[in-house]
Amino acid sequence: MTRVAVTSRSFSRHPVLRAELLDRYDDVTFNDAGATFDRQTLTAYLQGHDRVITALETLDEPVFAAAPQLRVVSKYGVGVDSIDLAAMRRRGLRLGWSGGTNRRSVAELVIALAVSLLRHLPQATGEVKEGTWRQSLGRQLSDRTVGIVGCGHVGKDLAVLLRAFGCRVLAHDIRDFPEFFRAHGIEPTGLDDLLAAADVVTVHLPLDDSTRGLLDARRLALMSADTILINTARGGIVDEAALKDMLSGGRLAGAAFDVFATEPPEDPDLLALTNFIATPHIGGSAEEAILAMGRAAINGLEDARVPEPGVHPEGLW
């Protein structure tokens, strides 16, 4: 009999996803306790299960070795930086993964964060609540130059939305999408040139050895003092210490992060900056995205294949 474990708390408490999973499988273990797993508790939780729906939990060689009955890992969400794909391939484990299931949810959050920073909404709200009535001067998103670092599913969706604002859209990616770029008037641009030219820079990359620390102090310094930076992709891509120095020193207008190198974030000085917005990894936390990601994860329990570099997951690893 197939036994399925669900590690995700949000999947486990979602009545529709629970019902749809139970329609397909009789033996399912949900994370009803709302546990946050470390390696030891995760391996104990996986015992006796041959398939798992996982979210942000770390699945690596020691976990796979301690759960030899596991055959399929299905990803609830799109990021796979917490999964050792090479170890899965060595062991012949299959991965269920669908790209872009939360793209509109993340793209809309980026626009919300950009407008909030450009119009100084956090500061204005704080002042009103404290009794100060002052009309601060902001900037419109319309007609700004926006640089998208990483033009995968989310980057492409965001690019189309930004064109409706009349934005000039620059895109940097290691892959080329000439037909898409031509169809939507998007300018492929080198990373350094993008950082120097954009009014808004938004990051949409997976986290791997090639992207970790990509936006370091040198690259952050290429941006003008009027630029805002948004990261809704993965923590660790941007040097948070260098970012804090730039924000506090007035060398960057503002930043908004939905993801951090360590979650929850541990730098109170960064979080206290008035030109910094922090959200708790909610890019995919729209009702529509939760359903789309959950249903993709359910399908991935059957529609799965052994990871293959650059092929599965598509364009990653």
Cβ-count burial 185-208 (b if 16+ within 10 Å, e if not): ebeebebeebbbbbbbbbbbbbbe
Strands (E), 47-191: 51-54, 72-75, 94-96, 145-149, 168-172, 187-188
Count how many Cα atoms sit within 13 Å of the Cα of residue 282 in the half-sphere of its side chain. Answer: 12
Q: For residue 234, indicate whether it is catalytic.
A: yes
Helix, strand, or coil (residue 203):
strand
Q: Residues 51, 234, 240, 312: which is the catalytic one?
A: 234
Q: How far apart are CA 283 and CA 110, in angstroms?
A: 8
The total number of residues shown for the chain amounts to 317
Any idea which residue has 């641009």 for tokens? 189
Which among 88, 41, 44 is positioned nearest to 64, based on CA atoms? 88
* Catalytic residue list contains 9: no
184 is known as an active-site residue: no
Exactly one of 263, 266, 287, 302 is catalytic; which is it? Answer: 263
Task: Given the residues 251, 281, 295, 314, select the one marked as catalytic.
Answer: 281
User: Is residue 156 within 8 Å of 183, Cβ to Cβ?
Assistant: no
5: helix, coil or strand? Answer: strand
Active centre residues (catalytic): 234, 263, 281
